[in-house]
Amino acid sequence: MIVAARSTTSGHKKCDLEPAAARRMALIDSHGKIVAVNNDWALLAKEVGIKLSRVGVGANYLDVCRKASTFSHTSHQALTGIIQVIKEEIPSFTMDYTCQTPSGMARFRMNATQIHYKSARVAISHTDISDLDLSKRKDFEHVQKFARRLINAQEEERQRISREIHDDLGGKIAFLAFSVRQILSQRPKHSSCIDSELNKVVEGLTDLATGLRDLSHSLHPPSLRYVGVGGALKAIAKAFQDNYGIVIDVRIPKELPPLSGDLQLCVFRICQESLQNIAKHSGASKARIILEHTNNQLCLTVSDSGKGFVRSEGMLSGGVGMLSMRERAISIGGHVVVSTSPGEGTEVSLTVPLQEQLEETMVE
């Protein structure tokens, strides 16, 4: 598409002019005819054995793009953008695209900008941004690895605290309840007043044990291991509905593809955080959890019918919930979008590319 393009079986474009320089430029008139090119543009045609008459001064660049757009959606986008600039509907147009080169796949940025110099009306430039793109990918991979280490450290600490609550505190409370029951069983029958108070102590200890058990499970959900993310979401929705009286509509596919443990945990935690936010802030009477998948991605949506909020104010309020959700999504290569406005409820959407996750599952 840089100068001319045709489709390939890989889905990328095959360029007639392969990039030998990082940047090449051409000026076109209001009809799309090339009126000037720089040395890099001309030298490139010579190096790859293409007559300059096909891509040089006098050739119509729009016709080149039209021919390429027959095979390439990207070329069609470029054609549309350049025409808009020629018609002065927009001052400039920029797009990035991938192109097959002699040295492999490369990344380019095309820019079309209005100019008024003699008969020239638009300057077309193509800049090789492969190194920049690679740098961005590496930066993202570093951020992703850091996020994963941070999430893993948090989960390990949650698991440790969960074990302490379940094994240590839970055991001590159970022993206290047993001791009080022993006292009750050995007391004379006529001391009903004291018995009533001791029964209240037992009930309180039982409630405390239940609360600690629920806290332990929320810190480290065992249901993920035994029933998978679908069952875990149904369980947390039921607990949420019982605790807060908010009706939850849960929609989970009957079957899910194999999902990595990290992905399942991410989905569960983001759903958990979203439900906590609904309980704390939304004032909603209804909420919905939807988990769905295609061949390419897994999507979780948690929405409510509450009062919503102004996003900028939500970010400035000091809460870390949305930040935590985004960190978790980044750690597995996904992204989170929060859609809300005052009086319109809130929707949290997690989208994760599934192919990469399936490959990781196969490796595991």
Calpha distance 360→142 (Å, rounded)? 18
Strand 104-117 and strand 120-128: the pairing is antiparallel
Q: What is the pLDDT of residues 235-252, one digit of tens each?
A: 889 988 988 899 999 999
Q: In the prediction, which pLDDT does 119 show?
A: 92
Residue 4 has pLDDT above 50, yes or no: no
Q: How far is CA 26 from the centre of its chain?
A: 38
Q: In the prediction, which pLDDT does 290 show?
A: 95
Q: Which of 128-132, 168-172, 294-298 is the most confident on average?
A: 294-298
**Which is nearest to 104 in space by CA: 19, 16, 9?**
19
Q: What is the pLDDT of residues 310-334, one digit of tens each?
A: 766 655 454 557 777 888 888 888 8
Whole-model pTM? 0.47
Residue 84 has pLDDT above 70, yes or no: yes
Strand 23-28 and strand 120-128: the pairing is antiparallel
**Which is nearest to 78 in space by CA: 92, 91, 95?**
95
Residue 20 has pLDDT above 60, yes or no: no
The residues, any chain, with a CB within 8 Å of residue 97's CB and separated by 6 or more, are 1, 13, 74, 78, 107, 108, 110
Q: Which two tokens stand for residue 284?
A: 């909603």
Q: In the prediction, which pLDDT does 187 show?
A: 64
Give the pLDDT band (50/70/90) at residue 28: very high
**Which is nearest to 126 in space by CA: 47, 29, 15?**
15
Give the pLDDT band (50/70/90) at residue 203: confident
Q: What is the pLDDT of residues 148-182, one digit of tens each?
A: 676 666 666 666 666 666 566 666 677 677 777 76
| Cβ atoms 346, 340 nearer than 8 A | yes
pLDDT averaged over the chain?
A: 75
Q: Which two tokens stand for residue 291?
A: 């988990």
Q: In the prediction, which pLDDT does 324 show?
A: 78
Q: In the prediction, which pLDDT does 86 show?
A: 94
Host H or E run for residue 227: helix 223-244
- Judged by phi (left if over 0) then psi (alpha if -120 to 50, else beta), residue 101 lies in beta
| Cβ atoms 155, 268 nearer than 8 A | no
Give the pLDDT band (50/70/90) at residue 101: low
Calpha distance 122→172 (Å, rounded)? 79
